[in-house]
């Protein structure tokens, strides 16, 4: 087969795309596909060479580098800084020759740069909160307070100041920290712990405990590497934005500004493009990627529904009549891939291909994801929404939901593949390294062993113990800090905090305000006391958090590793309680700091927070005691009501959910006394006389068909009715003329709106409670309240909520 190089187009054999689907006639589409083919081909050439290379070196197709014993990198794999997840990472091959001297020289440089970067990061952060008093340059009357933070300071510090800085650094470099090839990289004869210069010869210059020393040196390397990345990032954003902390609104030259008004630019990340795919400002490339994102999001949303729906409903009849495979026989999740016959997969692929090629053709004149033959919800040949705010709102929602669905379906695939269960029964995942810690203290219901960041996924017991010790210490400090916020509200020590300054304890305010009132000498004493306790008493033993000091940490321990709690079960219970309380205290003290900082009051008097955006909504219906008070404050712990549009959206959703819940509460009671006899369709008659009461009806045929009809009706109503033109959220008009019938004025209407919100909120809790009680007791919404059954149902419900559903006495 000859190509048409003679006619000017290499690689064109005249056989169509891809060999049987015909030619691509559209010039722009043809150019795009040819460019993609070239790019993919180049990538594939690099990939296959890499595969050959690692296969040849390791003798394994997928490159098991543990078998490559001849690697010169093996000379350094036990050095400091070789840490998970990269191990010994040298992508540029600096140490490929195995030269020990070069490695040592580079390690010295790395440590030095890391130390400088850590100081530089602190230099960026500290001036935001504290600056030296007095003058930086008395001769020029330049105060430290007048020097800007960040790169701007370079031009403000006088030349004489820079000369002093350079001379000081040079003195330390030439005379104090001299490189000695006989010592470890970064270890200097004249420098002690934390790099503080030793002034007394013969004193120890390093840590005595080898394990502690290795751990701290590894931590220094890791922190130094992180600091080098951080300070470069700080310089970068400072240089681009002219602001030390990177106010990106000032960076008007950003090519991303071309897309910041596009759909999908939503809080909290705004226009988020960490990989810089749109850095060139190419609108065509952006539209192509946006089209792909929409398509993947739509597929992912359908895929998520495909994971969820079969848990509650499956089609009757056969998936494959010829092979006798019923829909009920097809398992949920990835296991279904092997059950569906090959002919079924061919039909699925042909159907998707038909939609892709015949209906949903890319049109560069239309918005990404907008197809001439695709209407609302992607229904072929359906209608579309008219241009405007409603359309933009729904398209933004589609993008957000699609992104969420892509993350969700990958998570579903991941847990399905690991556990062999569509909904991730982790009891089946026996290979999990987390199993090493599932019996540890602190593993409590409902989360069990919870490690979402995978910090313990390597199963390293030493690392786990170190983190557990840190957690305990932070929890204990947080419990003391929480008490320190609470106690001064009721009682303060008599006498003086500082006799020399005549400062009594009674004049020290509670909360963060106390930080500025305590004298410097007082803080110095606090730090010294804590440091003394840390170094003298809190020496780690075999058990994290056990310092041999006895119960509550009092200095009455009964020997190393002993305490006064002898009974194993009682001890385990109290240690679990300490961990749980410490975790709660850490969350609590952060919340206290946050509300104190915002309101200027230790206990968060929100009436002082005049800048709160929630003030715009404090006179809205539903702002009621005890969680809110009309005209003063509203209860919005998650900060959802950030602006009027957002508030209106959430209030509309609340009213809608409340109305559905009120109907659901009525339905849960009504069905106990009366059932519809049947569902009648043009070609079938479904008998409902045997349908169970309660929520159980949703999971059984044919009553689940009725529920599907309700969902479909709700969806139709949702599409055709909205409150965009109403006076307030939830206002869909007054079809029954209740305003006129009840003669409601504005005040009366507000009262009824408030009543509806109250009843809707109560109904949402009531519905959830009824369903939960039915799940526990097996009794429907009415039988739960019968005289004989009530005690049993409530006993079971209280037992379940207190001890969990798996309680032995259940």
DSSP strands (E only) in 670-730: 678-681, 684-687
> Are the CB atoms for 99 and 93 separated by under 8 Å?
no
Band of pLDDT at residue 350, cut at 50, 70 and 90:
very high
More confident of the two residues 339 and 679: 339
Least Cα distance to 455 among 445, 470, 439, 444 occurs for 470
Quote the pLDDT of residue 236. 87
Percent of the chain with pLDDT over 70: 73
Average pLDDT over residues 365-375: 76
* pLDDT band with cut points at 50, 70 and 90 for residue 406: very high
Mean pLDDT of 427-446: 67
Distance, CA of 602 to CA of 510 (rounded, Å): 6
Give the confidence band of 790 by pLDDT, cuts at 50, 70, 90. low
Per-residue pLDDT at 810: 38
Residue 553: pLDDT band with limits 50, 70, 90:
low
The predicted structure's pLDDT at residue 650: 82
Name the band, by pLDDT with cuts 50, 70 and 90, for residue 135.
Answer: confident
pLDDT at residue number 163? 92
Average pLDDT value for residue range 761-787: 82
Taking alpha carbons only, the member of 312, 369, 318, 370 closest to residue 344 is 318
Q: What is the token pair recorded at 82? A: 């070789």
Determine the Cα–Cα distance for residues 442 and 247; give it in Å rounded to an integer.
Answer: 41
Top-confidence residue, 552 or 411: 411
> What phi and psi values does residue 690 have, to the nearest 5 degrees?
-95, 10
What is the pTM (predicted TM-score) of this model?
A: 0.42
Please report, in angstroms and rounded to a whole number, the separation of the first and last CA atoms in the chain: 76
What is the arithmetic mean of pLDDT over 570-576? 80
The average confidence (pLDDT) of the chain is 77
Beta-carbon contacts of 608 under 8 Å, excluding residues fewer than 6 positions away, are 599, 600, 601
Band (pLDDT 50/70/90 cuts) for residue 35 is confident
What the block records as the tokens of 176 is 């104090």
Encode 526-561: b = buried (16+ Cβ within 10 Å), e = exposed: eeeeeeeeeeeebeeeeebbbbbbbeeeeeebeeee
* Predicted confidence (pLDDT) per residue in 47-105, tens digit: 888 888 877 777 777 766 666 666 665 556 667 667 666 667 777 777 777 788 888 88
Q: Provide the β-strand partners of residue 325.
A: 320
Q: How far is CA 243 from CA 162, 234, 276, 414, in A?
A: 22, 10, 21, 42
In the chain, pLDDT over 90 holds for what percent of residues?
7
| Of 525 and 650, more confident | 525
Find the range with the poorest average confidence among 117-126, 190-199, 503-512.
Answer: 190-199
Which of 180-194, 415-429, 630-644 has the weakest average pLDDT? 630-644
Token reading at 636: 């919005």
C-alpha dist (Å) from residue 331 to 275, 309, 321, 328, 661: 38, 12, 17, 8, 33
- What 8-state DSSP symbol labels residue 805? T
When comparing pLDDT for 407 and 747, which is higher?
407
Contact yes or no for 238/150 (Cβ under 8 A): yes
For 77-91, 322-336, 486-500, 755-769, which range has the lowest pLDDT when averaged over its residues? 77-91
Nearest CA to 711 out of 722, 723, 724, 698 is that of 698
pLDDT at 558: 47
Average pLDDT over residues 473-498: 89
pLDDT of residue 300: 93
- Is pLDDT at 627 greater than 60 in this prediction? no
| pLDDT confidence tier of residue 550, bands split at 50, 70 and 90 | low
The span from the CA of 638 to the CA of 622, in Å, is 17
Task: Output the six-digit token pair for 67.
Answer: 């078998």
- For residues 374 and 380, is the Cβ–Cβ distance under 8 A? yes
CB 124 within 8 A of CB 147: no
Instruction: Give the residue from 402, 409, 383, 378 showing the smallest Cα distance to 307.
Output: 409
pLDDT of residue 232: 92
Q: Smallest Cα–Cα separation from 149: which of 120, 128, 118?
A: 128
Check whether 619 has a pLDDT greater than 70.
no
Whole-angstrom Cα distance, residue 163 to residue 146?
20
- For residue 791, the model assigns a pLDDT of 65
pLDDT 10s digits, 184-218: 787 777 776 656 665 555 555 566 677 777 777 77
């Amino acid at each position: 087969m000859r190509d048409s190089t003679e006619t000017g187009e290499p690689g064109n054999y005249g056989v169509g795309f891809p060999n049987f689907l015909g030619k691509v006639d559209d010039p722009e589409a043809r150019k795009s596909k040819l460019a993609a083919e070239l790019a993919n081909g180049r990538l594939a050439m690099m990939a296959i060479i890499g595969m050959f290379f690692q296969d040849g070196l390791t003798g394994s197709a997928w490159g098991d580098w543990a078998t490559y014993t001849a690697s010169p990198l093996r000379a350094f794999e036990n050095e400091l800084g070789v840490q998970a997840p990269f191990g010994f990472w040298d992508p540029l091959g600096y140490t490929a020759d195995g030269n020990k001297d070069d490695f040592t020289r580079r390690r010295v440089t790395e440590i030095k740069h890391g130390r400088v970067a850590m100081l530089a990061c602190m230099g960026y952060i500290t001036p935001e909160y504290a600056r030296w008093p007095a003058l930086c340059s008395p001769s020029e009357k330049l105060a430290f307070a007048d020097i800007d933070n960040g790169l701007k300071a370079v031009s403000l510090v006088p030349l004489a100041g820079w000369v002093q800085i350079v001379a000081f650094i040079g003195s330390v470099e030439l005379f104090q920290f001299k490189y000695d090839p006989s010592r470890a990289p970064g270890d200097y004869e004249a420098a002690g712990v934390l790099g503080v210069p030793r002034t007394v010869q013969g004193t120890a210059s390093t840590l005595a405990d080898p394990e502690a020393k290795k751990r701290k040196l590894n931590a220094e390397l890791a922190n130094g590497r992180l600091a080098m990345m951080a300070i470069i990032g700080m310089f970068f954003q400072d240089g681009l934005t002219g602001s030390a902390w990177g106010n990106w609104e000032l960076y008007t030259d950003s090519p991303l500004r071309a897309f910041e008004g596009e759909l999908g630019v939503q809080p909290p990340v705004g226009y988020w493009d960490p990989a810089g795919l749109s850095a060139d400002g190419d609108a065509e490339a952006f539209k192509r990627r946006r089209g792909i994102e929409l398509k993947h999001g739509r597929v992912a949303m359908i895929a998520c529904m495909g994971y969820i729906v079969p848990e509650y409903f499956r089609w009757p009849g056969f998936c494959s009549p010829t092979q006798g495979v019923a829909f009920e026989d097809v398992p949920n999740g990835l296991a279904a891939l092997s059950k569906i016959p090959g002919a079924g997969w061919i039909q699925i692929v042909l159907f998707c291909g038909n939609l892709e090629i015949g209906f949903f053709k890319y049109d560069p004149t239309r918005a990404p994801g907008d197809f001439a033959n695709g209407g609302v919800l992607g229904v072929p040949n359906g209608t579309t929404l008219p241009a405007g705010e409603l359309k933009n709102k729904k398209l933004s929602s589609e993008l957000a939901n699609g992104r969420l669905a892509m993350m969700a379906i990958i998570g579903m695939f991941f847990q399905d593949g690991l556990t062999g269960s569509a909904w991730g029964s982790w009891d089946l995942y026996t290979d999990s390294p987390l199993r090493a810690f599932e019996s540890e203290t602190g593993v409590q219901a409902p989360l069990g062993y919870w490690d979402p960041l995978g910090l313990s996924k390597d199963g390293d017991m030493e690392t786990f113990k170190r983190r557990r010790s840190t957690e305990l210490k932070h929890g204990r400090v947080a419990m003391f800090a929480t008490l320190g916020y609470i106690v001064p509200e009721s009682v303060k020590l008599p006498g003086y905090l500082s006799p020399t300054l005549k400062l009594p304890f009674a004049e020290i305010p509670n909360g963060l305000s106390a930080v500025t009132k305590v004298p410097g000498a007082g803080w110095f004493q606090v730090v010294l006391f804590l440091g003394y306790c840390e170094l003298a008493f809190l020496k780690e033993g075999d058990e994290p958090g056990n310092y041999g000091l006895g119960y509550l940490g009092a200095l009455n321990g009964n020997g190393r590793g002993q305490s006064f709690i002898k009974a194993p079960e009682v001890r385990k219970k109290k240690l679990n309680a300490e961990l749980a309380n410490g975790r709660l205290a850490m969350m609590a003290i952060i919340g206290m700091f946050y509300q104190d900082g915002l309101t200027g009051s230790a206990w968060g008097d929100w009436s002082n927070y005049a800048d709160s955006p929630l003030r715009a909504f404090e006179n809205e219906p539903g702002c009621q005691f005890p969680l809110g008070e009309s005209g003063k404050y509203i209860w919005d712990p998650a900060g959802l009501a950030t602006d009027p549009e957002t508030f209106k959206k959430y209030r509309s959703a609340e009213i809608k959910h409340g109305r559905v819940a009120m109907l659901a509460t009525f339905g849960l009671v009504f069905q106990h006394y009366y059932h519809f006899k049947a569902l009648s369709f043009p070609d079938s008659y479904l008998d409902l006389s045997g349908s169970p009461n309660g929520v159980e009806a949703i999971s059984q045929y044919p009553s689940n068909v009725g529920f599907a009809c309700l969902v479909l009706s709700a969806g139709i109503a949702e599409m055709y009715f909205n409150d965009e033109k109403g006076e307030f959220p939830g206002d869909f008009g007054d079809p029954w003329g209740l305003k006129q019938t009840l003669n409601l004025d504005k005040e009366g209407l507000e009262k009824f709106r408030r009543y509806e919100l109250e009843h809707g909120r109560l109904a949402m809790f009531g519905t959830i409670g009824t369903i939960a009680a039915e799940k526990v007791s097996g009794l429907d919404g009415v039988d739960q309240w019968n005289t004989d059954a009530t005690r049993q149902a409530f006993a079971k419900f209280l037992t379940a909520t207190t001890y969990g559903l798996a309680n032995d006495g259940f």
